Structure 1
Amino acid sequence: MDVLNEAIMDVDTSDSDDEFELDKLIHDIFEESSGEEEDNEVDEGADSEQKEERKIHDMWSGVQDSDEFCLLKDRRFMVGERELLQLLRRSTCQQCEGKIDPSTIHEGEYIAAGIKYKFKCSNGHPGKWISTPFYGGRSFVHMVMQLMVILSGGSWERFSLGARFMNLAVGSATNFYKMQLQYRVAIEKFFLSHIQSIHKKLGGIPLSVAVDVRYDTPGFSANRSTAVFMDTSTQFIVHMEVGDSREVERHSPRMEKLLVERGLSFLVNGSPLVVWEVVSDASRTIISIMKTDPYKHLQHSLDVWHKSKKLASTLADLAKRSPFKELLPWIRSIVNHFWWCCSTCHGRVDKLLHRWSGILSHINNKHVWPGGRCRHPEGCEHPEGGSWLQRDSKAFKELRKIVTNREWLGTMKYYTNCRQTWAVENFFSHTLLHYCPKQNSYSYDAYNIRNMLAVIDHNHHKEREVAVGQDGAPYSQAQVSRRTKQWVAYERKRPKDFSYIPELMSACMQETYGRPLSTFSNSKKAMDLKTLQPNLSGKPNPGSKSLLAQMKGRKQQLKPQQL
């Protein structure tokens, strides 16, 4: 829109013929032909397109009237070069209102993600036209493109590659990564303010915090990792820690201990939050941390889903063997019984153990025994396709070994609250994976701000309502579960509104205003890590030319000698 407005400013409004030609040109640019056949094509998807435009407009409708917001909320369109030149040829001089000489129109100096035209009118007066406004001496459209890539979790390489396919000017990758250094400062300030607001909202309330660690690559060769601490009740992420393998001498598994200790120390000693319970998976590292002095006063719970999965896997491996096939129909019932025991023991480990051992009587068709009884309704039948087990059968004896295993019973104290970490894992699998794909490698600062953006995204959109149709029924989506191979249905949530984006984009723009590129630098943490070990080898780079020459020399030695 800025492109058209600035060009239309030069048009002589007193000339009715020129006005008619200009209106026709604008209609041609936006494909608003008056032909019946073309009208039908445009109107075919008009309703859906208008809805999408309204969603975009809603994001910017309530922004403040600052210089940054005034620039940001203006609509932008993609216009072809030929149409721009046609518009310039129909323009007039601002000094004498004379016609622009088409033969004098030529491109001026390079502008990132934009274009500058210079020309003269019929009376020789020079003029110019620029396709983008400027902010702080920089191309505003170029800045918006850069922020679009960063804040949406995209990749500049993929975006620029797609732009090449359509011959779209978007600027250089070098400038993008240089500007990202300063955008980082604004994102870090915004993230800190966001987390402080979460702490203020939850301060003074006893919290049960789930923690899990995610590595940037699978296996034991990870360079960076993320520890997320989430309130299990509200599912707000209350803290995040990012680690680098250089902090632990390139031993990736040690990062879990470093990040969990650092995060717990902050939550317990440096934040206004009151933490009474920590929930994690069955990591031996975290279990040992929770037994140390600073944290052993906290309740430690393990994820009951992982324990149930291990139980089901153990029973399934046993049921594959011929003497124990009788256990196969009972696996689901035994796992469900474990869940029921954890959810109804009310924090008492003795009650959990008592009810858990009752499965050995129930599976023998004995529902009342000395000191206990089954809680199901009378007339309960055995699972479909199965039968009651006899106490002298091999299947029952093996099941009794599993149920009464000393190591298994010794861990029951971690499951008395029936906690899960699924919300953290869901954040890793969806939101964080979008902002930090594992197939991409990022610098420390880039990885850090992308994690921050993922946390902000999650906390702002975690309470989205279910999308409903015109009849008021929720939208549902069916798919096949990869684990159970069964059809399951999910309710579709409303699209994310990203209401925080205008404020964040404005903050990023203000952080770069009037500052030269030479002053943009990495964070202090990133620079400290470079001093520890600049690369995996621990040695300085000998130069690509030297390495290439050595490689070619080795290949030459491997070639067979010519006779």
Structure 2
Amino acid sequence: MGTMVIVNAECYSCGKMWKWESQPYFHRTPAGNVLLSASTLFAGGSWKKVERILGNLRVACISEQTFYGIQRTILQPVIEKKWVQDQQKVVQQLVAAATPLTLAGDGRADSPGHSAKYGVYTGLEVKINKIVDLELVQSNEVKSSYHMELEGFKRLQAFLASNGLDIGKLITDRHLQLAKYVRENSPTILHTYDVWHLAKSVQKKIHALAKQKSFEDLLVWERSITNHVYWVASSTKDEEGDPREAKWTSLVNHIQGIHEGHSELFPRCLHGDLQGERPKKWLKTGTIVTEKLDDEASEGHQEDVIWKTNFILGILSRRDQFAPKMRSYKYHGMLSRLHLAALHYNANSDRKQATTKKGEKRYAISKPKYKPGAASVKEPRIHSYVVELMADISEYESDASPLPRQPSPPPLTSSHVYPSREEIIQRHRSRFSLDQ
């Protein structure tokens, strides 16, 4: 019985028999089995690892088949009900505000490359720092896995429209297909790019360029160029397109040791005098390195409206916690884990910076070899949503009318015709000469 112990006893004197059970039942299932399965899933854990841990301790537990049965019949309906309730609270808050949304959107595939099975698109309202909706797309629902991000955005936009919500500003990565769709179909939306994605793109280009022959001197400037992207984003307002371009292109002059005469809008660098020995050598003017860098700086980043936000990183880390890449899940299993990630993010989105007993703000100091740094320490995470989910399990009635389950798309293998099991085995044995 997994975590449950049952003792059947008989009295030798009178022959009376009775049964003792170590725990009650939830929906005809031992409560310990349900709670162990719930604790594993709600923590974003893997049953195989939990089973291995308990097996090492020689502790009896349920089978993997039982775990997935409990997950399908009890846990997933409870998670979906909780997500819908919390999502509606967020939607009602936004409807009451009666202002266009500032939405940060991000898409993620469940595996790298072009062979992903799932793509999830998450929409977060920046002003309240809450996830409003997330849409799961399976690759056979669209033309190819590359199109999953755009399809996820379309579904998210449709969900918002059905609730009377409009997007005023959209913050995304540099997804060309999505950018074209927004430009042609929603011209009233101010489409901006998240600075983290933009800086990552710039860093990749500079790093690849610095590996080429004659461009080695650019490598020491890689971090400074990336930092310049963040500075341009934080020091310029959205509507200041021309000053943003001027600040961005001033980079080429700066790394040549030229700090004045950049342009009319940004005539000189804002730093003080840079005297004395420099750890990084200025690049020489008129070389192939500076010419190539000037071309890169003029190719398009200066026209991007960039938005400085750390929300995307938080969303990514929570999704990786509950639904790590390279792990295979069925459709509803993936969906429930993504909803858990959203519940966790929303429950902890308002955490403040932690303080000491004296009321001073706390910081964590890191000491890598290259450059020591400091980061603010947040208050401990809360898991109030798990307490509520556990309470919902005890109140859940399997015979009651559940929420309509979102239909899952057909399996990826449904469009393929496979030979019989016997034929596959025979091919394998013939290939490796096992029948000889």
> What range is the shorter-chain TM-score in?
0.7 to 0.9
Alignment RMSD (CA, Å): 3.5
Correspondence for 2:152 = 259
Distance in 1 (CA, whole Å) between partners of 2:277 and 2:189 is 40
Corresponding residue to 2:378 among 493, 504, 517? 493
Secondary structure of the 2:59 match is coil
Distance in 2 (CA, whole Å) between partners of 1:396 and 1:309 is 21
Counterparts of 1:328-343 in structure 2, within 5 Å, are 335-343=226-234
Distance 1:171 1:401, change over 3 A: closer
Distance 1:170 1:197, change over 3 A: same
Contact 1:199 1:272 in 2 (8 A): no
Indicate yes or no: 2:428 matched with 1:555.
no
Contact 1:213 1:228 in 2 (8 A): yes
Distance in 1 (CA, whole Å) between partners of 2:10 and 2:340 is 48
Correspondence for 2:165 = 273
Contact 1:112 1:169 in 2 (8 A): yes
Secondary structure of the 1:221 match is coil
Deviation at 1:136, TM superposition (A): 3.5
Contact 1:226 1:241 in 2 (8 A): yes
Secondary structure of the 2:374 match is strand
Deviation at 1:449, TM superposition (A): 0.4
Secondary structure of the 2:58 match is coil
Q: Deviation digits for residues 517-537 of structure 1, max 9, x if unmatched?
A: xx99994512xx23xx56266
Correspondence for 2:102 = 208
Distance 1:334 1:382, change over 3 A: farther
Distance in 1 (CA, whole Å) between partners of 2:404 and 2:413 is 16
Distance in 2 (CA, whole Å) between partners of 1:393 and 1:444 is 55
Indicate yes or no: 2:359 matched with 1:454.
no
Q: Deviation digits for residues 214-240 of structure 1, max 9, x if unmatched?
A: 111121111112111112333211110
Secondary structure of the 2:55 match is helix
Deviation at 1:119, TM superposition (A): 1.9
| TM-score computed with the length of structure 1 as normaliser | 0.67
* % identity of equivalent residues: 22
Corresponding residue to 2:312 among 413, 419, 424? 424
Distance in 2 (CA, whole Å) between partners of 1:258 and 1:378 is 49
Distance in 1 (CA, whole Å) between partners of 2:134 and 2:365 is 34
Corresponding residue to 1:198 among 90, 111, 114? 90
Q: Deviation digits for residues 499-544 of structure 1, max 9, x if unmatched?
A: 12232123234334458xxx99994512xx23xx56266226734x
Distance in 2 (CA, whole Å) between partners of 1:546 and 1:318 is 51
Contact 1:116 1:130 in 2 (8 A): yes
Deviation at 1:278, TM superposition (A): 0.9
Corresponding residue to 1:300 among 191, 195, 209? 191
Distance in 2 (CA, whole Å) between partners of 1:182 and 1:286 is 37
Contact 1:382 1:388 in 2 (8 A): no
| Unpaired stretches in structure 1, ≥5 consecutive residues | 1-110
Indicate yes or no: 2:3 matched with 1:113.
yes
Distance in 2 (CA, whole Å) between partners of 1:350 and 1:383 is 34
Deviation at 1:142, TM superposition (A): 1.7
Secondary structure of the 1:552 match is helix
Distance in 2 (CA, whole Å) between partners of 1:385 and 1:524 is 59
Contact 1:225 1:243 in 2 (8 A): yes
Distance in 2 (CA, whole Å) between partners of 1:467 and 1:378 is 34
Distance in 1 (CA, whole Å) between partners of 2:296 and 2:412 is 50
Secondary structure of the 1:490 match is strand
Q: Deviation digits for residues 357-413 of structure 1, max 9, x if unmatched?
A: 44566656462577352252664559824566675555554444344x3x32xx533
How many positions carry a matched residue from both structures? 429
Corresponding residue to 2:29 among 133, 138, 153? 138
Which structure: larger Rg? Answer: 1
Secondary structure of the 1:556 match is coil
Distance 1:307 1:464, change over 3 A: closer
Contact 2:246 2:263 in 1 (8 A): no
| Unpaired stretches in structure 2, ≥5 consecutive residues | none
Counterparts of 1:67-82 in structure 2, within 5 Å, are none
Counterparts of 1:24-103 in structure 2, within 5 Å, are none
Amino acid at match of 2:387: P
Corresponding residue to 1:542 among 398, 401, 420? 420
